[in-house]
Amino acid sequence: MPRRFAEISFTDSVKAQQARYGSREMYHRFELAENSGDVLTEKEIEFIAARDSFYQATVAENGYPYVQFKGGATGFLKVLDSKTLAYGDVRGNRQYISLGNLAVNNRVSLILLDYPNRRRLKVWAQASVIEAEQNPALMLKLQTAGQIVERAIVMTLEAYDWNCPKNITPRFTEQEIQDIFLVPLQSRLSFLEQENQHLKTKLNLV
Ligand SMILES: Cc1cc2nc3c(=O)[nH]c(=O)nc-3n(C[C@H](O)[C@H](O)[C@H](O)COP(=O)(O)O)c2cc1C
């Protein structure tokens, strides 16, 4: 567990609960960890590039957290550099809840899941909203699947942490089912069909 994650997440009230339930001593060690965990490495960059969705939490001015599912083409959440993530905000239901929340509190928390491999990455960042007219080149960079990017959500990384695989049920997209399961099955089936045909011919069954 990286140090920066512990610094952000282990607030005084969290530490009090850890003390109450006996895990404070163990978790205090992570506050002293050498790895700060606030710069993405190749491992996180590859993981992020392979995602087609993530969950994004913002905080409303009334104190409520707000979680929204964000989905798009694979790799639509882009790593601009090892401290910066960004995605293009496209027109949706026009409730603008996350945008409204970001206007009063720019902190975001993301969770990215790789269901087939049961991996998950948590990210903390400070977001800024860049409107299309401010940086048209950035909008083009963030454009995927022909969707018009109305604004960019650019996030400066504060911390990340890999979570354990516990309780992640493997789930597969149609493409993954095709690649992982159906292609080998189809190839096996066609081999068996040919073998069957060959045996029938040999035994004069056809
Ligand atoms: C026409 C339409 C298109 C949408 N496209 C997307 C999309 O590409 N990705 C996505 O995650 N949600 C999409 N949504 C759902 C939400 O509008 C979208 O997640 C939006 O960002 C919600 O933001 P908010 O909950 O912060 O207000 C779409 C909704 C509509 C009505």
The ranges assigned to domains in the chain are: 1-37, 38-170, 172-206
Distance between CA 200 and CA 122 in Å, rounded? 57
Give the model's confidence band at 204: pLDDT under 50 very low, under 70 low, under 90 confident, else very high.
confident
Judge if the beta carbon of residue 95 lies within 6 A of ligand 1: yes
Judge if the beta carbon of residue 72 lies within 6 A of ligand 1: yes
Closest by Cα among 140, 149, 152, 144 to 102: 152
Alpha-carbon separation of residue 87 from 16, 32, 120, 186 (angstroms) = 36, 33, 19, 37
pLDDT tens-digit map of 148-201: 999 999 999 999 999 989 999 999 999 999 999 999 999 999 999 999 999 999
Strand partners, 156: 84, 126
Judge if the beta carbon of residue 60 lies within 6 A of ligand 1: no
pLDDT tens-digit map of 20-29: 999 999 999 9
Question: What pLDDT is attached to residue 193?
Answer: 97
Which residue in this structure is represented by tokens 């994004």?
Answer: 56
Contact (CB, 8 A) for 45 and 69: no
Pocket test for ligand 1, best of 69, 93, 105 (most atoms within 8 A of CB): 93
Judge if the beta carbon of residue 88 lies within 6 A of ligand 1: no
Distance between CA 184 and CA 64 in Å, rounded? 48
CATH superfamily membership of 38-170:
Electron Transport, Fmn-binding Protein; Chain A (2.30.110.10)
Between the CA of 153 and the centroid of ligand 1 the distance, in Å, is: 14
Does this model's pTM top 0.85? My answer is: yes
132, two tokens: 């299309």
